[in-house]
Amino acid sequence: MMRNKIAVCGALVLAILGGVAAENRLDVVERVFPPDQSEFRSFSKFMATQQFGEAPEFIRNDLVTDAMPIAEEARSRLDTMTLDANGLNETVVEFLVDIAGTPESPKDGFMLQSVYGCLMFGANYGQFAALRDGIVEPGEVNELVTRCAMDAIDGFLDFLSELPRPDPPLPPVTPDGPPGQEQLDEWAEDLEP
């Protein structure tokens, strides 16, 4: 089920990029996507802001606490590996499941899809940029795809880092008081004159 949802998300990204490729014939793409990959990070942050900036507070809190660690780990691993442009969708799904595990709830699935969408957005743009620039050597294509995926994740992390940190959850209260209350009571007794 999760793979189906991720596949649908990937198909949507591919459809968008297909439209961008068509627009490129009319030289409209330069206004949509910056030609310099270093600017793609800013564009990715803008996209994340458009997608999640007005989301309810609980979703933004979940993104910070649950999606951000996945994105940070993905970004860290991309420093030492290269994505394969062939079978990209399956590669990215397996990459993220290896990081976060199989989602156990709809919320877990949504967090994973958020990072997946960002990664695929960057990677698919890398494929588009390779076609646009006439890059055909597989190693160079893979490097460009990986670099654009990293830029996209960096932009997503820039957005998440600017969100307010949610308050830590209060410890659960037991019949004897909060956890550790008994130890605190003993220390208080020791401190009494």
pLDDT tens profile 22-65: 444 444 444 444 445 568 899 999 999 999 999 999 999 999 99
pLDDT tens profile 130-177: 998 899 999 999 999 999 999 999 999 999 999 998 877 555 555 555
pLDDT tens profile 83-120: 999 989 999 999 999 999 999 999 999 999 999 999 99
The angle subtended at Cα 101 by Cα 96 and Cα 106, nearest 5°, is 95
From the CB of residue 104, how many other CB atoms can be counted at a distance below 10 Å?
8
Reading the block at residue 77, the tokens are 């691993």
Reading the block at residue 168, the tokens are 């830590």
Query: Whole-prediction pTM value?
Result: 0.69
> Hey, what amino acid is at 123?
A
Q: Percent of the chain, pLDDT > 70?
A: 67
Q: Where are the domains of the chain?
A: 2-168
Reading the block at residue 92, the tokens are 């990215």
The angle subtended at Cα 22 by Cα 113 and Cα 31, nearest 5°, is 80
